[in-house]
Structure formats: C-alpha cells, structure tokens
Structure 1
Amino acid sequence: MARFKPIPYSQQELKELLDYNAETGILSWRKSWRRRVAGAEAGYYGLNYKYVGLKGRDYFVHRVIWKWMTGEDPQAEIDHKNGKGFDNRWCNIRKATSSQNNCNKIIQVNNTSGVKGVSRFVNNNGYERWCATIQVNGKRKQKVFPFTDEGLALASEWLDDMRKSIHDEFACGGFR
C-alpha cells in the first residue's frame, strides 16, 4: 500500500482546475463550481499544513503543488525548507526522504538543554554529563561532554559539525 495518496488529476487537469503563484505559495481556484469561487484560495488550514479537497478526498497542498509544477506524483516526502508547513512557495519546498525530513525538524518543546540533540546524562555513580546524539545511517552516534556551560557549547559545536557533514542541505540546528 502506498504511503501517500496519488493526486487524482494529471498535471494538465490540475492546471485547468487551479492556479498557483510560486512567489506567494498560494493555490487558488480557476473557475467557480459547487462551493468554490474563482480566484479564491483553495484549501483549508490544518494543524501544521494546508489541505485541499479533490474528488472527495483531502490532499496536502504542498503535494498538489509539486504535481502542478513538475507533473510528477511525489512518491517521497515533500519538505518545507524553513520548517513552516503553511509556506508553500516553490523555493521553500523540496523532495526529501523521511530521514532527511526528520533532520530538518526544529527543537522539541520538552528539550531541557536548549540544544537539539543534547541531553543530560547521569551514570550509575551519579556523575552528570552532557550527551550529544545524532543519527547516522540508522545508527546512533554519541559523544559525552562535561556537565558545564563550556561542555554544552562543545556539544553544540560537535553536533553542528556532524550535521553539516552528514545531513548537508537538510541540516537544522533546531532553530528558525
């Protein structure tokens, strides 16, 4: 079973149905029909992304835009470079693997160190350290640092260097 639903229209049919402004990222209806009004923005806002209803099903707007622009039904994930799921400008979306898309996530709200990938580690003797962790080809790579402000800075630098060398253009330090 496919992970993503294929868009039910060809590129030509999408271009007859919808207009897309690549500079603003707005998808709009070309003609009025049913409850749709020509020129009105197509779709609705969900929690993190925009959706549009086509043939009785909802689709991510960024995936519809990908097919509208390339003619290709995206088999992979579509990543928002700046991490903002509502920003569907053409310069902000790109094809990505699930792993690449995960690399581009922001810092989690429950992070206590303030640095993406760094957590407090306490060994059996009660000795505290900073533990920096990064995923490399499905395997975890870790390095420990002293539990000081300097140790936290060193952990952050190590992770930044690792991200740049491993994740390339998808590297994200957790902040936008």
Structure 2
Amino acid sequence: MRKLTLTRLKELLRYDPVTGEFRWLVRRGHVMAGAIAGSINSVGHRQIEIDGRKYLAHVLAWFYMLGVWPETDLDHESTVKDDNRWSNLREASRSQNVANTGARKNNKVGVKGVTTLPSGRFAASIKVDGKQIYLGSFDTVEAAGKAYKFRADEAFGEFARA
C-alpha cells in the first residue's frame, strides 16, 4: 500500500529526466534544498526516504513522469543501477530484467550461462520463465557462450545480454 501521492512527491523533489537526478526542493534536516536526494543502497540502487518510507529512485522517476506506479519491474537498460535517466528506464518482466545482467561475479568462466563440467567441457544453460533449460555441452567456452547468446536473443530480444 503506497501512501505517497504525486502532489506530495512534487512538493518535495524535482526530477531531471535528462540526468536522472532527484533534488530536494525543501530543506530536510541537515540536507539543504538543491542537494541530490537519496543514497546508494547495498545492491547499488539509489533510494530516497520520504515521510519515513524508502523508495527506489527509478520507481519514483516512473511515478513522477507518468503519475502511476509501475505495474511490473523496471529495468535499467544500461545495467547501471544508479542511472535513472528517463531514457534508460523501461518496464520489464522479472525474466527480462534478469536477462539484462552480465555474468555473476562468482562465475568461474566469466561467460553468462556457462559452467565447466568435470570432463573439462563447457555446459550452457538458460532460465526462461522460471524454467532452467539445458543447451548442451561444448568443447570450448566460446561455443557454449554462443549457444547461450543465441537462446537469450531468441527468448529476451532487446533485453538479452550475454
């Protein structure tokens, strides 16, 4: 249940769709009017506290620009979690949002969707609509990566990132 209204948001903050920044219109405790609002949370998103509740800046940007709360996930097309420029935000399903990420930091081969098998070959797999799909085993990491990219492009289109 969201209690923040568009009127209240615009009383407190100004959003610049070109830079993606929110700036305070009023002094908030020790924070001066004109200062960039919010802080970066533990996963890299900017969050802004309004009336005792924390909001993600990209969600506030959507609400500020359209006057409605997003009904789906919002994706940062550039994958930079603090890049809240209006041109960088788009609605996405959870699968599409996850597809628009690079290889995980703990990925030992450095290629998204690819793991090393005990035999020394490389396995490619992808998750689509919550279902893990095995794409095969390959002699090289490059071949496995190509298999992943082909299936990701097919499943996620513009959201695919390999």
Report the TM-score, using the length of structure 1 for normalisation.
0.83
Query: Residue 27 of structure 2 corresponds to which residue in structure 1?
Result: 32
Q: Secondary structure of 2:48's partner? A: strand
Shift of 1:143: 2.5
- Give the AA of the match of 2:157: D
Shift of 1:44: 1.6
Identity of matched residues, % = 32
Give the letter aligned to residue 14 of structure 1. Answer: L
The structural deviation recorded for 1:29 is 1.1
Q: Does residue 15 of structure 2 align to residue 20 of structure 1? A: yes
| Aligned match for 1:139, one of 131, 135, 138 | 131
Q: Does 1:157 align with 2:146?
A: yes
How many residue pairs align between the two structures?
A: 161
Could you say which residue in structure 1 is the equivalent of 2:72?
Answer: 76
Pair 1:146–1:100, CA change in 2 (3 A): closer
Give the drift of 1:100: 1.5
| Conserved? CA contact 2:95–2:128, under 8 Å | no
Instruction: Give structure 2 stretches of 5+ with no counterpart.
Output: none
Please give the secondary structure, in 1, of the residue aligned with 2:117: strand
Any gaps of 5 or more consecutive residues in structure 1?
Answer: none
Counterpart for residue 114 of structure 1: 110
Equivalence for 2:158? 169
- Note the aligned Cα RMSD (angstroms): 1.7
Equivalent in 89, 92, 97 of residue 96 of structure 1: 92
Larger Rg over CA atoms? 1
